[in-house]
Amino acid sequence: MSPAEAHAAVEQLRADAATAQEHVRELTGLGTQLPPRPPDVVDRPTWAAAATAGIVALTDGARLPVIPATARKLTATTTGLQAGAVLSYLGSRVLGQYDPFGGPSEEGRLLLVAPNVVAAQRLLDVPFDEFSLWVCMHEVTHQLQFTAVPWLRSYFAHEVCDFLSAVEDSASGLLERLPEVITSMRRGSGGSGDGRDGPALLELLQGPRQRAVLDRLMALTTLLEGHADYVMDAVGPSVVPSVSTIRARFTERRRGGSVLDRLLRVILGVEAKVRQYAIGAAFTQAVVEAVGMTGFNTVWSSVETLPTRAELTQPDQWVSRVAPARA
């Protein structure tokens, strides 16, 4: 891109983020009284630095096991290399991100990665202004989820830290769980009937305490991602005229890639995240159709009204348990 084209793309993203605020608030009813918060339109290295800082802030309260000094030198190097590789891979693919733990205050930080948005738009061959607004809808929804629901940020941080703090218990029982891990991997990934897509390696390696926390985290992130995916399509063609074309081509893009790219997505959990979008969006749509958006917003009332992992694939069970007011 020429400097002028790059500047125009950045300005378009900033304007679309402001427009998306209006549409998302009107559709969801979230944060209608909150002041608008502008995004940070960034390049890939800035996103990687922001992601690193956000991870540091998020995991600050974790009680990690004590590692001897000699071993720490080795683990620090290998972990640093692994983290760098992951950030490098994701840094060329992430279109945007709302980081509730980033920025100078507890208000979080909305990031839009301009080079990646442009690259994806060109690959999909769709209008830039429509694709930009569509992407902003998703990320602004995340921003409003965390800013309009006061307890969500602290709950998410507590669960992550609890998960990391249980790593020592998980490691101590790893040898006892190895037969179960090997057997489950040999069976393949048949549906388990409880809202899971089959036993993931990450889950199989966890002890009972970590699995319980992971269940809650997976349920929460599936809700957040699915809700945002629902919103970005629900605004409809009156806002994004080519929304159906963008969604079809974007979904195909998520599934595509080389064999190596697909392998990396599995290893890094990106494939699992893609499934989260579909499950969470289907849950949101089913609940909205049953009880309206006002009834759906009952999910944000408290920790107790969040759907369980099993309820995400059985939205009628969540409606029966929570009994939201129909609207």
pLDDT tens profile 132-152: 999 999 999 999 999 999 999
Provide the sign of the torsion angle of the four alpha carbons 264, 265, 269, 272, taken in this order: negative
Please state the domain extents for the chain: 3-322
Are the beta carbons of 98 and 142 closer than 8 angstroms?
A: yes
pLDDT tens profile 181-230: 555 555 554 444 444 444 455 555 567 778 888 889 999 999 999 999 99
Residue with tokens 């989820």, as numbered in its chain: 145
Are the beta carbons of 146 and 103 closer than 8 angstroms?
A: no
Question: By three-state DSSP, how is residue 176 classified?
Answer: helix
Convert 229-287 into a string of H (helix), E (strand) and C (coil). Answer: HHHHHHCCCCCCCCHHHHHHHHHHHHHCCCHHHHHHHHHHCHHHHHHHHHHHHHHHHHH
**Residue pLDDT tens, the chain, 327 long:** 899 999 999 999 999 999 999 999 999 999 999 998 899 999 999 999 999 998 888 888 777 777 787 777 788 888 888 888 889 888 999 999 999 988 766 679 999 999 999 999 999 999 999 999 999 999 999 999 999 999 999 999 999 888 888 765 555 554 454 555 555 555 554 444 444 444 455 555 567 778 888 889 999 999 999 999 999 999 999 999 999 999 999 988 766 666 667 667 666 666 677 788 899 999 999 999 999 999 999 999 999 999 999 999 999 999 999 988 776
